[in-house]
Chains A and B, each alone.
Chain A
Amino acid sequence: MERLIIRGGHVIDPATDIDGEYDVYVVGGRIAALRPAASDTGEVSPDAPGVTLIDARGLLVVPGFIDLHTHLREPGYEYKETIQTGTDAAKAGGFTTILCMANTNPPNDNESVTRHIIKNAENSGIRVLPVGAVTQGLKGEKLSEMAGLKSAGCAAFSDDGAPVVDAGVMRRALEYSRIFDMPVISHAEDPSLVSGGVMNEGVVSTRLGLKGIPNAAEEAMAARDIALAELTGARLHIAHVSARGTVELVRAAKGRGLKVTAEATPHHLTLTDEAVEGYDTNAKMNPPLRTKEDVEALRAGVRDGTIDAIATDHAPHSVIEKDVEFDGAANGIIGLETAFSLIWGLVEEGVFTPGTAIRAMTVNPAKAVSIDGGTLKVGKIADITLIDPARSWKVEPGNLKSKSKNTPWAGAVLKGVVVKTIAGGKIVYGGPGR
């Protein structure tokens, strides 16, 4: 059997409370053992056949990251991203499992689309778990065939990109999802409160003369969906939380023992609406970048576990959608390749402990959608990411793997480099050498 030995790295595995220097042994694609570093390493010769030795001294060794929220754009929008380019970006970002949203063309509202996605992702080397649509055609009217979607490999349900506007339909979706014990992911947004808004509503939108989106647009819908989760006993996951009121709502829901989880993106954790100054369309997203108070609330939410997961909302768009007037520009930015470094930047600033950051990118998202993984526990699939926490890199859009280059961090120097991504015991990014 193929063996991989990752020697001398600093292992952080929040799920098992391991935080220290260990050698990680991988056999047959699974974690075989963790032993304190520099203990007896003589038993395996580096020259032994079938053994790959990785010198991880000075590196962090963590479970492969899990992203609950990506847009791979295939099928239908291959000019923005393909499963190939999107998974390449994921691997470069240290992700070994990604969930891809259903707003493709055709949308992933039936099992044949799910199968197509999974088949095209087979050679990526990482786990691609499609999210099936809640409603047929993402129209918010009739429920999609959830059993079919599940059997084909979907991990959750969401109409992400648009909310399920009709409360009655959302109620039925949540009720019906209980058959499968799978979460419905809510893109919490009341369209009548968005009403053509293109950025956060506040002092900055007033100054820039751009139509604002109030926090209440998200909070009102999140409150509705939490009430429906309470009514139905279903699992609800709130996507890309941006408003401080939503953090409060989720905290209260968890306090009542509801099956509610939530995620926040690296950009909502690091940027405010002031990034829109100068009308940079790479600062245009939905939900919009909010204020400092919201950012602080999100950070506190990650720290106390109210916000379970950090998810990228990786949203590739071409220049034709981004290099245009602000009002008409598409929402969203790419995020897979910058996510870890941005979060590591917050660790460096003292906002998060390393454990909190890694937890929100590994075991917590795994739990939110019931994936067996996100940990380096013995016996689990060997999804492992190696990081050089001391090295910095410059974001050069041309060098990113994603097909689209819509990032607000072009030219920025970020600390924390993903040096190797291992999925199922195989090195899928970074090559065998140091």
Chain B
Amino acid sequence: MRLKRKDLLGIEDLRADEIELILSTAESFKEVSDREIKKVPTLRGKTIINLFYEPSTRTRTSFEIAAKRMSADAINISASSSSVVKGETLKDTARNLEAMKPDCIVVRHSSSGTPRMLSKYVACSVVNAGDGAHEHPSQALLDMLTVKEKKGRIDGLSIAIVGDIAHSRVARSNIYGFTKLGASVIVAGPPTMMPPGIESLGCRATTDMESAIKGADVVMMLRIQTERQKESFFPTIREYSRLYGLNEERVKRAKDDVIILHPGPINRGVEISPEVADGPYSLILDQVTNGVAVRMAIFYLLLGAAREE
């Protein structure tokens, strides 16, 4: 089994069966991380470049660990400035990287679409590790894996995503992913942070958090960037928290067996109260663990399995 594609640029492009394949492959790789010797030889001799134009600890580390557990050589490049600033075209950047003969480039960039543009210029695989407000496919896959593990299914579940939808690539990828697997998704947030026509991605939208989480099987809280306050997306952190923060009282509106997800890093006391973040229904750390397995599966399905054909 393999993914019959060169790149993983977004969940929008994936079919449901491809998502299922990645999730089931990830499940089989989870066990590797529990071994004494956490390594399989599957991708020995493969070179993976982590090209991060945006600061990231969690995602970059997760991709790096995933590569190393598959025995691939992982190289991290923290690019401090974009090609625009350097006066270099994206094509030049791509050609220079390609000249080092990598098998895969994992790219994170603050500008939406950059992974897609890069993929046009290189023959190797490109994995999107988050581009602007566009997509963050590996995050959505690990979220889906976490939900599937706990609930045994995704089909038929009610998923609420709450917070800054407009600026969130995590929201977009999850809307595509969960709806493709048969869940119903509702997004909630202030109108200032709700992008026009978000329903066209397949979800419902509301400004009322309480109605969004009512009866939800899964509540996903998005990180609120405090800088947004300066741009008048909301008046104060206190008021944001009052309208859209998840506390124990609100959790009661969801299903009894609700699970709470957060892509991290958490602003405790802002979008999520400490009691909820640390509560029994919180799977925030399971998400991190599953992130490694999902990324191992992505590398395997793009680089490893392909070789065997």
Question: Which residues from chain A sit less than 8 Å from chain B, CB to CB?
Answer: 201-203, 205-212, 278-279, 319-320, 323-329
Contacts and interface: CB of A to CB of B under 8 A. Distances in A.
Question: Which 3 A-B residue pairings sit nearest by Cβ, starting from the closest?
Answer: A209-B134, A279-B113, A328-B84
A324 B172 contact: no
B114 interface: yes
Contacts of A320: 87-89
Interface of B: 12, 82-85, 87-91, 109-114, 116-117, 131-135, 169, 172, 195-198, 200-201
Given A319-B89, A325-B83, A327-B111, A209 B169 contact: yes
Nearest to B117: A279
Contact of A325 (B87, B117, B133, B196): B117
A209 B90 contact: no
A203 B196 contact: yes
A325 B109 contact: yes
Contact of B82 (A201, A207, A209, A324): A324
B116 A278 contact: yes
Nearest to B115: A279
A324 B90 contact: yes
A210 B84 contact: no
Contacts of A279: 112-114, 116-117
A209 B89 contact: no
A324 B84 contact: yes
A118 B114 CA distance: 41
Given A207-B200, A320-B87, A320-B89, A325 B134 contact: no
B89 A212 contact: no
Given A279-B116, A327-B110, 12 more contacts: A202-B196, A206-B196, A206-B200, A207-B197, A208-B113, A209-B112, A209-B132, A320-B87, A323-B89, A325-B117, A326-B117, A327-B132
B197 A323 contact: no
Say whether chain A's binding surface is mostly helix, strand, loop, or mixed: loop
19 contacts: A201-B196, A203-B196, A206-B195, A207-B12, A209-B112, A209-B113, A209-B131, A209-B133, A209-B135, A210-B113, A212-B195, A279-B113, A279-B116, A320-B89, A324-B82, A324-B89, A326-B114, A327-B112, A328-B83
B191 to A, nearest CB: 13
Contact of A206 (B85, B87, B201): B201
A326 B197 contact: no
A231 B202 CA distance: 48
Contacts of A206: 195-198, 200-201
A201 B198 CA distance: 12
A209 B84 contact: no
A203 B195 CA distance: 8
A328 B116 contact: no
A254 B169 CA distance: 45
Contacts of B196: 201-203, 205-206, 212
A210 B132 contact: yes
A408 to B, nearest CB: 15
B111 A325 contact: yes
B235 to A, nearest CB: 18
A207 B201 CA distance: 7
B197 A208 contact: no
Nearest to B10: A209
A271 to B, nearest CB: 18
Contacts of A209: 112-113, 131-135, 169, 172
A244 to B, nearest CB: 16
Contacts of B135: 209
B87 A203 contact: no
B180 to A, nearest CB: 15
Contact of A208 (B87, B109, B117, B134): B134
Residue among B109, B197, B201 facing the most chain A CB atoms (10 A cut-off)? B197
B197 A325 contact: no
A231 B156 CA distance: 61
B89 A325 contact: no
Contacts of A324: 82-84, 89-90
B90 A323 contact: yes
A326 B116 CA distance: 11
A328 B111 contact: yes
A203 B201 CA distance: 9
Contact of B112 (A201, A202, A208): A208
A327 B111 CA distance: 6
A325 B82 contact: yes
A157 B209 CA distance: 51
A320 B88 CA distance: 6
Nearest to A210: B112
A326 B200 contact: no
B200 A203 contact: yes
A212 B109 CA distance: 18
B200 A325 contact: no
Contacts of A202: 196-197
Contacts of B198: 206
